Chain A
Amino acid sequence: MSRVITITSGKGGVGKTTSTANLGAALAMQGLKVAVVDADIGLRNLDVVMGLENRIVYDLVDVVEGRCRLRQALIKDKHFPDLCLLPAAQTRDKDAVTADDMIALTNQLRAEFDYVLIDSPAGIEAGFRNAIAGADEVLIVTTPEVAAVRDADRIIGLVEAFEKGHPRLIINRLKPRMVSRGEMMSIDDVLQILAIDLIGVVPDDEQIVTSTNRGEVAVLDRSSRAGRAFVEIARRLAGEDVPITVFDDNPGLLNRIFGAFGIRPRGSER
């Protein structure tokens, strides 16, 4: 059975696209067939993050409107032959597709892939609704900031109303040392408010910016802390029981293993 997973957030710029690209690559590293879909129509950038921008011929709207077949619009990744991108249209806006179009599209993708990851636009508008329309599961990305967490809470309420099951949470850009100085919300602070299952914690990592600019995802780089966090999340998504590691800002310091403190990924219950 293939799984369709939408990655979304309330607030913009918290790391949805980064998460989609990295989780897609990490799942493909496990030998799974993965499609990543850019549903941020009009503001596409999943292709840029994956370094595939110059290979785009057709896009999602072309498929929906019947100008090409799905196969023609899918772009093979440079590193993983089992990873494909379905890019968004840059010159159209979100009204170009409907929720029904997205359901039909995801059903087509299910036939070919083990995982379909959908990168959602931020916010609570039609674009978000389209992005979750065909999903079986939803991952919510937030940074440990009050405004981002508040917006995540809003989105979780909507996802629950759409009956997409219990969404799981990725906390991105955590800075453990700021947390220990009391300058940033801790994992517990965030979970206390959102009261949903945590699937992973990604540290703030400057290397992500440089690798993104090169069009290389972080999981390709074994020394990248964010990359390792995404590899872990992908394993949990696939159902493995992996305790949550919080990679410290200072690579020299010992990592804190959160599994020992009772924070367990949801996958472990299955």
Chain B
Amino acid sequence: MTTLVAIKGGREGLRLHLDEAAVWSDVLGALRSQLNQGAQFFNGARVIVDIGNRSLSEEQLAELMALMREHHLEAAALASTSCESRSAARAAGVVARPVTRSAAAPEAPGDAMFVWRTIRSGQVVRHHGHVTVVGDVNAGAEVVAGGNVVVWGRLRGTVHAGALGDRTAIICAIELRPTQLRIADLIARAPDGASGGHPEVAYVDGDQIAVESWERYRRSNRNDP
């Protein structure tokens, strides 16, 4: 994994950090491979692109926008301390703002996001780290996480854990009755019939998504943290 590109969730939503010092073509290359790896994660997402103090020409910015468009990633805004970069962005019709270093510095504690409500049909929760939902994920709703997803409630919608390519991610719910589950690059449709009526865990076993009762899973993974 490269450090030229980092994706972080914050109060304003997803933020895509592009290294401000490295050669621009290397940064673009790193971004391309990151986007390919996490294609599902980025599809349809809106991000703030943070390029630090790098000054981008209009051509360089156009390259970046084209790459993002190719992966269905939308730029909500461009954040930069460089005036050239901001005017290039405005010329391209992208909202531009000066980076507020002090505000960007204290990263969210840990990599987890906490959602305390019912996620309803048509709503999408997207986060680069783990997601905990206290509430239901209804049919037609979507949770997309780079890490694990825990639903303290009924999971009836679609959840994608490990969406940046992590097959070790798991999905747990008090009632696991999803429309569809995805972990990394794997997809599982809901098994027909009702859920077991007890908390369950979905994880990757070999090349497949397996679902097991929380009790069984816990016993067979006794040594895990």
Which residues of A come within 8 Å of B, CB atoms? 124, 150-151, 153-154, 156-158, 160, 192-193, 195
Contacts and interface: CB of A to CB of B under 8 A. Distances in A.
20 contacts: A150-B121, A150-B139, A150-B140, A153-B120, A153-B121, A153-B139, A153-B140, A154-B120, A154-B121, A154-B140, A156-B120, A157-B120, A157-B121, A157-B123, A158-B122, A192-B154, A193-B136, A195-B118, A195-B135, A195-B136
A158 B121 CA distance: 10
Interface in B45-92: none
B148 interface: no
Nearest to A192: B154
A19 B120 CA distance: 24
A158 B136 CA distance: 16
Interface string B179-191: 0000000000000
A195 B154 CA distance: 12
Contacts of A157: 120-123
B138 interface: yes
Interface in B138-168: 138-140, 154, 156
Contacts, number: 29
Contacts of A158: 122
A160 to B, nearest CB: 8
Interface in B101-155: 118, 120-123, 135-136, 138-140, 154
Contacts of B135: 195
A124 B122 CA distance: 11
Contacts of A195: 118, 135-136
A92 B138 CA distance: 37
A76 B186 CA distance: 62
B87 to A, nearest CB: 33
B contacts with A: majority SS: loop
A150 B141 CA distance: 10
B223 to A, nearest CB: 37
Contact of A154 (B118, B122, B136, B154): B122
Nearest to B140: A150
Contacts of B122: 124, 154, 157-158
B185 to A, nearest CB: 28
Contacts of B118: 195
A70 B156 CA distance: 47
B222 to A, nearest CB: 34
Contacts of A150: 121, 139-140
Contacts of A156: 120
A153 B119 CA distance: 9
B116 to A, nearest CB: 13
Contacts of A151: 121
A173 to B, nearest CB: 21
B225 to A, nearest CB: 33
Q: Quick one: which of A124, A160, A192, A195 has the most chain B CB within 10 A?
A: A195
B155 to A, nearest CB: 13
Given A156-B120, A157-B122, A195-B135, 10 more contacts: A150-B139, A151-B121, A154-B120, A154-B140, A157-B121, A158-B122, A192-B154, A193-B138, A193-B139, A195-B136
Q: Which of B120, B122, B139 has the most CB of A within 10 A?
A: B120
B136 to A, nearest CB: 7
A195 B139 CA distance: 13
Q: Which 3 A-B pairs have the closest CB atoms?
A: A157-B120, A154-B121, A153-B121
A69 B159 CA distance: 53
A156 B121 CA distance: 9
A230 B122 CA distance: 30
Contacts of A193: 136, 138-139, 156
A50 to B, nearest CB: 32
A19 B122 CA distance: 26
A160 B138 CA distance: 15
A154 B154 CA distance: 17
Contacts of B123: 157
A193 B156 CA distance: 9
Contacts of B136: 193, 195
Contacts of B120: 153-154, 156-157, 160
A44 B38 CA distance: 48
